[in-house]
Copies of this chain bind each other. A is one copy, B any other.
Amino acid sequence: MAKVEIITIGDEILIGQIVDTNSAWMAGQLNMAGFEIAQITSVSDDAEHIVESLNMALQRVDIVLFTGGIGPTKDDITKLTLSKYFDTKLVFDQSVMDNIEQIFKHRLFAMNDLTRSQAMVPEKCQVIQNKMGTAPITWFEKDGKVVVSMPGVPHEMKNAMSVDVIPRLKAKFQTSVIVHQNVLVHGYPESALAMKIEDWENSLPSHIKLAYLPNGRIVKLRLTGVGSDADELKSAIDEKIESLKTILGESIVAFEDIPLEKLIFEKLDSSHTTLATAESCSGGNIAHVITLLPGSSAVFKGSVVAYANEVKVNVLGVDSNVLDQYGAVSAEVVEQMAMGVRKLMNSDYAIATSGIAGPGGGTDEKPVGSVWISVCSTETVVSKLFNFSSSREQNIERTTQEALILLKQLL
Contacts from A to B (Cβ < 8 Å): 13-21, 23-31, 37-44, 49, 53, 56, 211, 213, 277, 279, 283-288, 290-292, 294-297, 300-308, 310-311, 314-315, 344-346, 357-361, 392-393, 396
CB distance from A300 to the nearest CB of B (A): 5
Taking a contact as CB atoms under 8 Å apart, the answer to whether A307 and B291 are in contact is: yes
Residues of B with C-beta under 8 A to A53? 39
A sample of 24 cross-chain residue pairs with beta-carbon separation below 8 angstroms, ordered by A number, consists of: A13-B23, A14-B39, A15-B37, A16-B28, A16-B29, A18-B24, A20-B23, A20-B40, A39-B49, A283-B288, A284-B285, A284-B286, A284-B291, A284-B303, A291-B307, A291-B396, A292-B396, A296-B307, A300-B307, A300-B308, A302-B305, A302-B311, A310-B345, A315-B345
Residues of B with C-beta under 8 A to A279? 284, 287
Copies of this polypeptide in the complex = 2
Residues of B with C-beta under 8 A to A285? 284, 288, 291
Taking a contact as CB atoms under 8 Å apart, the answer to whether B15 and A19 are in contact is: no
Taking a contact as CB atoms under 8 Å apart, the answer to whether B16 and A26 are in contact is: yes
Rounded to whole angstroms, the CA-CA distance of A27 and B15 in the bound complex is 5
Residues of B with C-beta under 8 A to A37? 14-16
Taking a contact as CB atoms under 8 Å apart, the answer to whether A38 and B44 are in contact is: yes
Residues of B with C-beta under 8 A to A358? 294
Residues of B with C-beta under 8 A to A392? 292, 294
Residues of B with C-beta under 8 A to A20? 19-20, 23-24, 40
Residues of B with C-beta under 8 A to A27? 13-16
CB distance from A147 to the nearest CB of B (A): 18
CB distance from A337 to the nearest CB of B (A): 12
Rounded to whole angstroms, the CA-CA distance of A346 and B310 in the bound complex is 9
Residues of B with C-beta under 8 A to A361? 297
Residues of B with C-beta under 8 A to A211? 17
> Which residue on B lies nearest to A286, using beta carbons?
B284
Residues of B with C-beta under 8 A to A305? 277, 284, 287, 291, 302-305
Residues of B with C-beta under 8 A to A302? 304-308, 311, 315
CB distance from A353 to the nearest CB of B (A): 11
> Which residue on B lies nearest to A18, using beta carbons?
B24
Taking a contact as CB atoms under 8 Å apart, the answer to whether A345 and B25 are in contact is: no
> Which residue on B lies nearest to A285, using beta carbons?
B288
> Which residue on B lies nearest to A280, using beta carbons?
B302
Taking a contact as CB atoms under 8 Å apart, the answer to whether B294 and A288 are in contact is: no
Taking a contact as CB atoms under 8 Å apart, the answer to whether A359 and B294 are in contact is: yes
Rounded to whole angstroms, the CA-CA distance of A290 and B308 in the bound complex is 14
> Which residue on B lies nearest to A307, using beta carbons?
B302
Taking a contact as CB atoms under 8 Å apart, the answer to whether A39 and B42 are in contact is: yes
Rounded to whole angstroms, the CA-CA distance of A361 and B37 in the bound complex is 42
Q: Which of B23, B303, B308 contacts A304 (CB 8 A)?
A: B303
Residues of B with C-beta under 8 A to A40? 13-14, 20, 41-42
> Which residue on B lies nearest to A53, using beta carbons?
B39
CB distance from A390 to the nearest CB of B (A): 12
Q: Which of A17, A49, A283 counts the most chain B CB atoms within 10 A? A: A283
Taking a contact as CB atoms under 8 Å apart, the answer to whether B17 and A213 are in contact is: yes
Rounded to whole angstroms, the CA-CA distance of A302 and B393 in the bound complex is 18
Q: Which of B310, B315, B393 contacts A292 (CB 8 A)?
A: B393
Residues of B with C-beta under 8 A to A31? 15-16
